[in-house]
Amino acid sequence: MNPTPSPPPAVTEPATEGRHALRAAGEPARSSPAPPASGPDVAVVAEGLVKRFGATEALRGVDLEIRRGTVLGVLGPNGAGKTTAVRILTTLLRADGGRAWIDGIDVATHPRAVRARIGLTGQYAAVDERLTGFENLRLVGRLFHLPNGESKERARALLDRFDLADAAGRPVKGYSGGMRRRLDIAMSLIGRPSILFLDEPTTGLDPRSRLDMWSLIEGLVAEGTTTLLTTQYLEEAERLADDIVVIDHGRVIEHGTPAELKRRIGGERVAVTVGRPPELALVPGALGSVLTPGAEPVVDEEALTVEIPVAGSDGVVPAVVRLLDAAGIEAHDVAVRRPTLDDVFLELTGHAAEDGGDDR
């Protein structure tokens, strides 16, 4: 008996390292993928998901796996297909091809059983503005078929936890964007989901609310909630995710741990601006001890800047300053540049993220 769908192209690609990282711990890399939904360690499996909207191919064969208790970051620009993938996994959309399992349950054939196990926070806050925060939570609890007492208790506990207790009795109409997002996530946690889906949970939040949201998500993750998180921010995926899948034009173009991904795209860079052109050539030599082995410095003669990839960013600026001083080089400016989603895309696809979604 081997009904396993034929291995999707991504598996046979040379990037076996990344694929391996996404596999359940202890599972050897194989030439053919494990049967879907095997083992209690894998909470979500998707294989070859295809979705078309008219002429638009939103997904062109997406594979992913989430190990139980981990966070998968799905990273991609506008129109990459992130929301479409989430909607298929959460039974809101039917895939045109491929299959997906949540806790071993097929999303296409047993949608209600799947819904009893998931929590979804969509890209746009799905709260009933006319009701209060407490009423919204109670509503979801009731529709989750929780006993009355339990749903009340859960609602109170979540309001406290998400710092909404004071606003609990006010209609949501008057909530700020950050409060709505928090309520939205609280609503998706009422049923104690085994897997949580967060579609761009911080898009549109101010920097302060974004930080709050990150610590909130980190708290959930610390409790062992298996999570799929989509984002357009590399920084966010790096901070929150155990594994990252990069998608573009409906395809997975890269996957791996944040560390692996960073290694592939070069990680952080330090940009040193010097006073005189002759000093440019001296910088890489002087900084040999912080330079990523084998990495190439990028010299911009006009701006008098040398950009070098560095192994780690902790304490790198003081170290660079000390090294430059020791070498007698007068630095005008030392800055750390973190790679952005654009860098990832330039590196992986040769085109910027903004190009995404148009050429088809």
Partner 1 sequence: MTAATTSVTTTAPPPGPISRPVASGPAWLARDCWTEATRHLIATVRNPDLLVFATIQPIMFVVLFVYVFGGAIVVPGGSYVQFVVPGIFAQTVLFGSAFTGIGIAEDMSKGFIDRLRSLPMYPSAVLIGRTLSDLVRNIFTFLIMLAVGFAVGFRLEGGVVDAAVASLLLLGFAYAFSWVQALLGLSVKSVEAANSAGFVWMFPMTFVSSAFVATGSMPGWLQAVADVNPFTIVTNAVRALYNGQDPGADLWYSIAWAAGITVVFAALAARRFASRSRG
Q: Name the residues that contact partner 1, by CB under 8 A.
A: 1-4, 35-40, 42-43, 51, 53, 68, 87, 90-94, 99, 101, 103-106, 109-110, 112-113, 115-120, 122, 124-131, 135, 139-140, 142-145, 171, 187-188, 191-192, 194
**Residue whose C-alpha is closest to residue 154's, from 187, 188, 116, 190:** 190
Among 12, 123, 257, 340, binds ligand ATP (CB under 6 A): 123
* Contact string 231-260 vs ligand ATP (x = CB under 6 A): -x----------------------------
Residue 126 binding target from partner 1, ligand ATP, Mg ion, none, CB below 5 to 8 Å by type? partner 1
Binding partner selected for residue 94 from partner 1, Mg ion, ligand ATP, none, CB under the kind-specific 5 to 8 Å limit: partner 1
User: What is the number of other CB atoms lying within 10 angstroms of the CB of residue 180?
Assistant: 20
Of the pair 80, 308, the CB lying nearest ligand ATP is at 80
Alpha carbon of residue 139 to chain centroid: 29
Cβ–Cβ under 8 Å, residues 29 and 23: yes
Question: Does 82 sit near ligand ATP (CB under 6 A)?
Answer: yes
Residue 218 is encoded by which pair of tokens? 């980190």
Residue 65 forms beta bridges with which residues? 45
Q: Which is nearer to partner 1, 136 or 305 (CB)?
A: 136
Q: How far is the CB of 61 from ligand ATP (least distance, A)?
A: 14
CB atoms within 10 A of CB 320: 24
d(CA 90, CA 354): 27
Q: How far is the CB of 154 from partner 1 (least distance, A)?
A: 14
Q: Under the criterion CB under 5 A, does residue 83 sit at the interface with Mg ion?
A: yes
Rounded to whole angstroms, how far apart are CA atoms 24 and 38?
A: 10
Going from the C-alpha of 336 to that of each of 7, 110, 197, 237, 270, the distances in angstroms are 41, 49, 33, 19, 5
The answer for 26, left when phi > 0, alpha when psi is -120 to 50, beta otherwise, is: left
Rounded least distance, CB 51 to ligand ATP, Å: 8
Are 273 and 299 in contact by the 8 Å Cβ rule? The answer is no
| Contact partner at residue 113 from ligand ATP, Mg ion, partner 1, none, CB < 5 to 8 Å by partner kind | partner 1
Asked if 172 and 136 touch (Cβ cutoff 8 Å), the reply is yes
Contact residues: ligand ATP, CB under 6 A: 53, 56, 58, 76, 78-84, 123, 232, 357
